[in-house]
Amino acid sequence: MRYRIWVLSIIMLATAFFGEMKVNPFGGSFRFSLGIAAFFFGLLWFQSVPVLTTGMLTGTFILGFRILLDQLMSDVSWLDSLQTHLPSAFYYFSFSLLFHFIRARRFLESPVLVGLIGASVDFASNMVELKLRHLLNDSPATNWESIFMLLVFGVLRSFFAVGLYNSFSIRQVRAVGEVRQQELDRLRMINTELYVEAFYLRKSMTHLEEITRESYQLYTRLLSTEHTESSIALHIAENVHEVKKDSQRMLAGLSKLINQEGLASQLSIRDLCGLVVRANQKYAEMLGKEIDITLTCEVDLSTSQIYALLSVLNNLVANAVEAIGKSGWIGLAVELEQRNIAFHVIDSGPGIPAEEREWVFEPGYTTKFDQQGNSSTGIGLTHARAIVHSLQGSLRIMDDGDPTTRFVVSLPTDQLLRKEGV
């Protein structure tokens, strides 16, 4: 209720204000103004307010507003002022009545039709006002010239309001689209983290299966020799089997989270790399760094391996962001190399010494330390390489003969096109 009152107040005030931007084409009190454009736009944009109520209140407010102006700015009596401006109130009454019965809001998806309806309603309402003014001896009789002028101004005002409405609608749709895209990006990045966890959970389940089998084999050997500790081996096998079943349940839950409805099963490689760039640009800003991240993509393909690829590329680009000082640049380039797709990540950071490059993929290797001097885990590149190997690809660090660091991820095209599995 409070919102409707607020909207009605805006429509009435805007109509009254723009109504004073006027011309008097016929020499009397009849005016052409922008007030009706503001009123028409209000009816189109604020669809929660009832048309008839808005028209009646606006017409009454316009009448009182203009009488008050006359009392403040001239010596006209309030009765004469009432007679002068009463037809204007009937214009708004007529406009809202016709607009309501035509139910013009049904046609908002057809701007031209809405514009023609608005022009027709404007013309008809002007004729009502002119007829009333003629009865009150405030305007000469209409002729073909005045009718033509009414049509022209009706079309101009109507299509101005419709054009303004469509302009605002497009901006609103774009804003909603941007918010939606940001939400999708956020969900994809969350799913990327879940993918990494699911990837290693799946790997652990393989190990658990092997441990279960070996424990049971140990139990059978001990049992055949009537060893007193054979029951312990069986107990270990049973417990490991229970852990494996729990892991399967967790993996099933992760799979449902990763395959969320509303997220596309395929994404173009350009859009996927763009997501990596946007996410790490924000990451750099969060760290207070000025880093220019550029994308060059010569590949026009879509991939189903969204989260695997995001995990790898996001790890490499995030590492580059962390390695760079206060400012620098990062380049992400994608190109075809025979039957493979190569992703190049190069940055202007301090680089990795040649003697250490063979160790960068080993667990625990790191060049990153926090403000307290504690080192990071050093498993990011290890995880990235494991995911790349699962796609039958390779992850290499290249020696370009300069301080920059360049990683190259090379993946078979058919692997990127196959259906993604967790």
Q: How far apart are CA 363 and CA 354, in angstroms?
A: 18
* Strand-pair partners of 293: 330
Tokens of 41: 């736009």
- Judge contact between 109 and 165, C-beta under 8 A: no
371, 372, 373, 374: CA torsion to nearest 10:
-110
Count of positions (residues) in the chain: 422
Instruction: Tally DSSP H helices, then E strands, for the chain.
Output: 11, 9
Q: How far is CA 337 from the centre of its chain?
A: 34
| Two structure tokens written together for 376 | 């990071």
Q: What contacts 100, CB < 8 A, 6 or more positions away?
A: 51, 52, 55
Q: How many CB atoms lie under 10 A from the CB of residue 206?
A: 10
The domain limits of the chain are 2-176, 186-258, 267-417
Residue type, 134: H
For residues 340 and 236, what is the distance between their CA atoms, to the nearest angstrom? 45
Structure tokens at 257: 């989270």
3-state class (DSSP) for residue 347: strand
Strand residues in 121-184 grouped as ranges (E): none
**Is 271 buried (19+), middle (13-18) or exposed (0-12) by CB count in 10 A?**
middle
* Listed residue (217, 218, 208) closest to 239, CA to CA: 208
d(CA 15, CA 37): 8
| 89's tokens | 């109130």
Locate all alpha helices (DSSP H) within 265-360, ordered by sequence: 269-286, 306-323
Q: Which CATH architecture best describes the domain 2-176?
A: Orthogonal Bundle (1.10)
- Cα 260 from Cα 53, distance rounded (Å): 45
The partner residues of 327 in beta bridges, in order of sequence, read 290
DSSP 103-133: TGGGGTT-HHHHHHHHHHHHHHHHHHHHHHH
Taking only the tens place, the pLDDT of each residue in 200-242 is 566 667 667 777 778 878 878 877 776 667 777 777 777 777 7
pLDDT in tens, 378-400: 467 887 888 898 889 999 888 76
List the chain pLDDT tens, one digit each, 422 residues.
687 888 888 888 888 888 887 777 766 677 778 888 888 888 888 888 888 888 899 988 988 888 888 888 877 787 888 888 888 888 899 999 999 899 888 888 888 898 899 899 989 888 888 888 878 776 666 777 778 888 888 888 888 888 888 888 888 888 887 887 777 777 777 776 676 666 556 666 766 777 777 887 887 887 777 666 777 777 777 777 777 777 777 777 766 666 654 455 678 889 888 888 888 888 899 889 999 999 998 888 888 887 788 888 988 998 889 888 899 999 999 998 888 999 999 998 777 776 676 777 766 555 554 454 444 444 678 878 888 988 899 998 887 666 678 899 999 988 887 655 44
Question: Hey, is 9 helix, strand or coil?
Answer: helix
Query: With the C-alpha atoms ordered 336, 337, 341, 347, is the resulting torsion angle positive or negative?
Result: negative
Calpha distance 139→128 (Å, rounded): 12
Please list the residues that pair with 344 across neighbouring strands: 333, 408
* The two three-digit tokens of residue 158, written as one number: 């109507």
Amino acid residing at 395: L
Comparing CA positions, the residue from 253, 246, 266, 262 lying closest to residue 198 is 253
Distance CA 108, CA 230 (A): 80
CA-CA distances (angstroms) from residue 380 to 67, 100, 200, 202, 413? 76, 64, 13, 18, 24
How far apart CA 257 and CA 244 sit, in angstroms, is 20
User: Which class is domain 267-417?
Assistant: alpha beta
